[in-house]
Amino acid sequence: MAAKRIAGAFVAVDERDGRPCYIQWLFGAADNDFIRRLRGFPQLAADEALLEGAYTPASHRGLGIMPAAMGLIAEKAETIGARYVITFVDQNNIPSLKGCQRCGFSPDLLHRLVGLGFGLFRRDSFTKLAADDPRRTQKF
């Protein structure tokens, strides 16, 4: 997203040397046309926001920057009319799952992608996890 110069990015900067140490994008329901073109994300309700594209350079990983920055960015969702913030993390990306959990996120939706025809066609589905699903409270 950075290479495409997509608006909506928040950047954390290392105060020691001024280098970026974290980046993530915040999108609201007004961005639904763009989100549709991105593919792989649900359309947002008027009171929802999407946090995506998180990246921490290797030099700054393991320092707790992600949960701190992500929490601050999520708070900005209120300024675009959102009461709820969603983000998607691959189930095998344990460091990111831990970071999301540390700033208050918990599993709510399951994203399934089915690719057909050598990637020419794809189908995304989103399933809300049941209230008693153990993945909701799983610790990473």
> What DSSP assignment string belongs to 30-73?
GGHHHHHHH-SSPPPPTTEEEEEEEE--GGGTTSSHHHHHHHHH
| Structure confidence by residue, pLDDT tens digits, 27-85 | 999 999 999 988 889 999 999 999 999 999 999 999 999 999 999 999 999 999 999 99
User: Taking a C-beta distance cutoff of 8 angstroms, is the pair 108, 86 a contact?
Assistant: yes
Look at residue 38 in the predicted model and tell me its pLDDT.
Answer: 85
| Structure confidence by residue, pLDDT tens digits, 4-29 | 667 779 999 999 999 999 999 999 99
pTM across the whole model: 0.85
Look at residue 116 in the predicted model and tell me its pLDDT.
Answer: 73
**Closest by CA position to 103, among listed 54, 64, 61:** 64
Q: How many residues are recorded in the chain? A: 140
**Closest by CA position to 25, among listed 3, 7, 4, 45:** 7
Partners of 55 in the β-ladder: 23
Number of neighbouring beta carbons within 10 Å of residue 92: 7
What domains can you pick out in the chain, each with its CATH number? Answer: 9-106 (3.40.630.30)
User: Taking a C-beta distance cutoff of 8 angstroms, is the pair 47, 28 a contact?
Assistant: no
